Amino acid sequence: MKIYVHHYYSYELFWFFFHASKPLQEIPTWFQSNRYNKNNLVSEEVSIKIQYSETEFEVIFCGDNNWQKKDGYHVFSYTINQLETKKIGDRGWNTILGKDLESDIIPMLNKHNSKVKGKISIFFIDWEYGVPGQSPIVNHKLNKEITIFKDELIDISDSQMVSFTHILWSFIFPNTINLREYYYFAEYLKYKKDYKYKVNYPVRRITTEKYNYIKKINSFNNPNLNCTVSSFTNYYKHDRNDIKDILIEDVINLISDKNLINKRGYNLDDWGGEYNDDNMKEFMYKLFTISEVTLLHEASTGYNINEKSFSHILANKPFVSISEGTYNFYNEIFKSYGYEVSHSPTHGLKRKDKLDFLNEITKDDIKWETFVKKLSFFIGDMRKKLLEIMHTKNGYLDYLIKRETETKSLL
């Protein structure tokens, strides 16, 4: 079976698209076009033979060529295209994503589909749930013969699908925000014991809800609970908050200057700009090392995840999610692959009750130690199962094999 990958080759993209496969030849890392500069796009057409689930494939990285080929399937990733055309700098969510869908991307895909009739798949993975305006455009403008793989479990209709494994691998390959390093950071955290706090609540962008959490944590006057806020809020890369009169000065008055994570330090302490990769490097080194447990504000209702929870799982870092929906999304992955679902030690607690729970349990060292053991086992078990799924399953290849089998059965 042939697959035409309409992107420039890189070994990272090979592993993103074809993880869990068995390469039948060596995976190259360089060609003449990028031999002396790894940032150059590989202009050569690259063909690699692989095996997955007893099926052999020939995968051909061919950029914008070969769209007319009818002897195989075609695959295209929207966000990788945005990276290749330098419209974005990393895989993290960006406000410009989706702006060229209606005018450029969808007409291009529909045009190519007219040649190959239903053999095109597109990945739309942006780590953000329900961006207004994008779904209606995709639903009404993209030809229904084109299969689209989304990263949210909502409004899945017609030829829309989800590949859980590609969602997970999208955080790592291409490694544009340094999440791969979190996987290796787990080995360091395994031996770290000298945490300053039992729980830390890190805030990057201040919103009304987060501000209210900070005020409540501060009202406990519990030295085991801490809040940090990033200097991100003082820059204007994005809107600072949803109510403009909440300023970082208001938060600092509550939590003090020592809890301001100031990105723009001096020389070695200057972490760069307000970009996703700089933020994630700073987050790993400064905030994963400050407390035993992270109180994580990932706004998930169970339909999606983003880099916040997955970075903690990769690093095997215990965290309590404000929303149980975060854990529910991972349970959907486990259920789809026949694994036992996992329930956190805070399962059953409402959002507003989690702060009170943490406030009380951190005051009792014996109860706290028991809780951390349960939480660590829960996160470690999730990590083990997710990594096993990531290394043995491939949602896109499973889809192609099933489609080929169904087509042959009709002949």
Q: How confident is the model over 109-141, as pLDDT tens digits? A: 999 999 999 999 999 988 876 665 677 788 789
Which of 105, 137, 163 is the last residue before a domain boundary?
Answer: 163
Counting beta carbons within 10 angstroms of the beta carbon of residue 179, is it exposed (0 to 12), middle (13 to 18) or buried (19 or more)?
A: buried
Examine residue 173 and state whether it is found in any structural domain, yes or no: no
Examine residue 396 and state whether it is found in any structural domain, yes or no: no
Confidence (pLDDT) at 241: 46
Which of 163, 191, 207 is the last residue before a domain boundary?
Answer: 163
Examine residue 399 and state whether it is found in any structural domain, yes or no: no
Same domain flag for 48 and 127:
yes
Total structural domains in the chain? 2
Examine residue 300 and state whether it is found in any structural domain, yes or no: yes
Confidence (pLDDT) at 411: 61
Same domain flag for 147 and 274:
no
Same domain flag for 10 and 157:
yes
Confidence (pLDDT) at 245: 59
pLDDT in tens, 142-156: 999 999 998 877 666
Examine residue 404 and state whether it is found in any structural domain, yes or no: no
Highest mean pLDDT among 18-32, 82-96, 239-253: 18-32
Same domain flag for 41 and 125:
yes
Among 53-67, 76-90, 91-105, 378-392, where is mean pLDDT lowest? 91-105
Mean pLDDT of 314-332: 94
Examine residue 406 and state whether it is found in any structural domain, yes or no: no
For residue 304, pLDDT over 90 is answered with no
Count Cα neighbours of 242 within 13 Å in the Cβ-side half-sphere.
6
| Residues linked to residue 111 through DSSP beta bridges, in sequence order | none
For residue 246, pLDDT over 60 is answered with yes
Are 54 and 1 in contact by the 8 Å Cβ rule? The answer is no
Q: Which domain CATH number covers 266? A: 3.40.50
Same domain flag for 246 and 326:
yes
Same domain flag for 69 and 202:
no
Which of 163, 197, 225 is the last residue before a domain boundary?
Answer: 163
More reliable by pLDDT, 348 or 95: 348
Which domain range does residue 92 map to? Answer: 2-163
Among 58-72, 243-257, 324-338, where is mean pLDDT lowest? 243-257
d(CA 241, CA 247): 8
pLDDT in tens, 186-225: 999 999 999 999 999 999 888 888 999 999 999 999 999 9
Examine residue 386 and state whether it is found in any structural domain, yes or no: yes
pLDDT in tens, 269-298: 888 877 888 889 989 999 999 999 999 998
Sequence-distant (6+) residues with CB within 8 A of 89 are 83, 176, 275, 276, 277
d(CA 66, CA 71): 10
Mean pLDDT of 331-357: 94
For residue 313, pLDDT over 80 is answered with yes
pTM of the model: 0.93
What's the angle, vertex CA 330, arms to CA 205 and CA 383, rounded to 5? Answer: 90
- Residue 404, Ramachandran bin (φ over 0: left; ψ between -120 and 50: alpha; else beta): alpha
**Nearest CA to 50 among 389, 388, 397?**
397
Q: Residues 358-365: contacts with CB within 8 Å, 24+ apart?
A: 358/199, 358/225, 358/295, 358/320, 359/217, 359/220, 359/222, 359/225, 362/198, 362/199, 362/222, 362/224, 362/225, 363/222, 363/224
Cα 97 to chain centroid distance, Å, stands at 15
Same domain flag for 56 and 184:
no
**Nearest CA to 354 among 311, 296, 283, 303?**
296
Same domain flag for 203 and 105:
no
d(CA 83, CA 398): 26
Q: What percent of the chain has pLDDT over 90?
A: 71
Examine residue 285 and state whether it is found in any structural domain, yes or no: yes
Q: 186 is written with which tokens?
A: 């787990």
Same domain flag for 148 and 209:
no
Same domain flag for 154 and 186:
no
Same domain flag for 148 and 201:
no
Average pLDDT value over all residues in the chain: 91
Sequence-distant (6+) residues with CB within 8 A of 269 are none
Residue whose structure tokens are 């407390």: 291
Same domain flag for 145 and 239:
no
Q: What percent of the chain has pLDDT over 70?
A: 93
